[in-house]
Structure 1
Amino acid sequence: MAKKQPKLHDDPRPLAERGLPSGRRLASGRPARSVTVNQAESPLAWLHARGHLTDRQFDAGEKLRFDYERASLGPRVTMGWNPEPRGKGRRGPADHMEPGERQLAAKQRFDGALAALSGELSDIAWRVICDGQTMAGAERGLGWPARSGKLVLRIALDRLAAFYRLPG
């Protein structure tokens, strides 16, 4: 009796490499494979989920990415449609910052973090954390040998964790 092949959508592994159910084979004779990729997952989250980064390193990278996004340093296609009303008539805590002040503070933190990294550490951190490049893409862009970027990124993330004063 033939073994029943599970359907692809029934497989509980969302990012696992799986064989195609049709049993197709490549020219080499090996079975054809497909990969399901979560497009919403960042390269940093991918490395963390697979145990390549500690929680502290991941948190440091997320803080840098937050500052990058809060400072609006990424490319923009159109004007900002900020839903927050502006003006003095707003109610809130006494230490409330206007959107421009929050943006400026994030830019200052981002600049300070990159200054703490300096040189090639800031290059790999910006490419992977802020620009969302894969590790292989960042290595190619920097002209580095394959599989060298992960070690350098971990060093950069440790320095970022110290800059952001994360416990650990």
Structure 2
Amino acid sequence: MVNEGESPLAWLARRKDRDGRPFLAPEQVEAGERFRRDMTQAQLLQRVTADWEASAGRAGGVGGAPVAEVAIDARRRVSRAFDAVGPDLAGLVADVCGYLKGLELVESERGWPHRSAKVVLKIALERLALHYGLGGEARGPERARRLLHWGAEDYRPQL
């Protein structure tokens, strides 16, 4: 569970650009939140308190799957998301969406110019949204876009 007041993504989602439109598109916000859920399920975030969920039972998350399986699946999703945004943007997505680091902190840690992190984050979230299939155009894997059939090259069905 994330406190919306502490989330840099939620803060940025409420901001407007100079034309009065939301700075982040809804699919970009959803992509960031989805990544956050995967980071949480992957158990990649540090805990401040004891984890009482482990003593509650063996089943967790999705359909009663063991907690370890849920975490492994989530780690695979996080890894695929990192591959989709690329190595230059993966750390930024993890810091802001996963670890909830503020934009100013990210800029100072990386030595970036003031107010540059939000622009770079917007680019990263756009790539993440495309990876998750969110946005204006639905896209699947390359193999799904090819026409496949079982007939020979010159086969034509009888009508």
* TM-score of the aligned structures, taking structure 2 as reference length: 0.70
The match for 2:11 among 42, 46, 50 is: 46
Deviations 1:131-167 (CA, angstroms, capped at 9, x unpaired): 1111111111111111111111111001111111114
Deviations 1:102-130 (CA, angstroms, capped at 9, x unpaired): 11111110111012112221121111111
Aligned residues of 2:6 and 2:100 also touching (Cα < 8 A) = no
The answer for the alignment partner of 2:69 in structure 1 is: 101
The answer for the alignment partner of 2:30 in structure 1 is: 59
Aligned residues of 2:4 and 2:10 also touching (Cα < 8 A) = no
The alignment-based identity, stated in percent, is 38
The answer for the alignment partner of 1:159 in structure 2 is: 127
Pairwise CA RMSD of aligned residues? 2.2
The match for 2:92 among 121, 124, 145 is: 124
The answer for the alignment partner of 2:47 in structure 1 is: 76
The answer for the alignment partner of 2:78 in structure 1 is: 110
Alignment-mate amino acid for residue 23 of structure 2: H
* Distance in 1 (alpha carbons) for counterparts of 2:6 and 2:46: 20
Whose radius of gyration is greater, 1 or 2? 1
Alignment-mate amino acid for residue 85 of structure 1: G
* Distance in 2 (alpha carbons) for counterparts of 1:143 and 1:155: 19
The answer for the alignment partner of 1:149 in structure 2 is: 117
* TM-score of the aligned structures, taking structure 1 as reference length: 0.66
Aligned residues of 2:9 and 2:97 also touching (Cα < 8 A) = yes
Aligned residues of 2:41 and 2:70 also touching (Cα < 8 A) = yes
More helix by proportion, 1 or 2?
2
Gaps of 5+ in 2: 16-21, 137-159
Are residues 58 and 86 of structure 1, via their aligned partners in 2, closer, same or farther at CA, if it must alter by over 3 Å? Answer: same
2:104 is aligned with 1:136: yes
Aligned residue pairs total 125
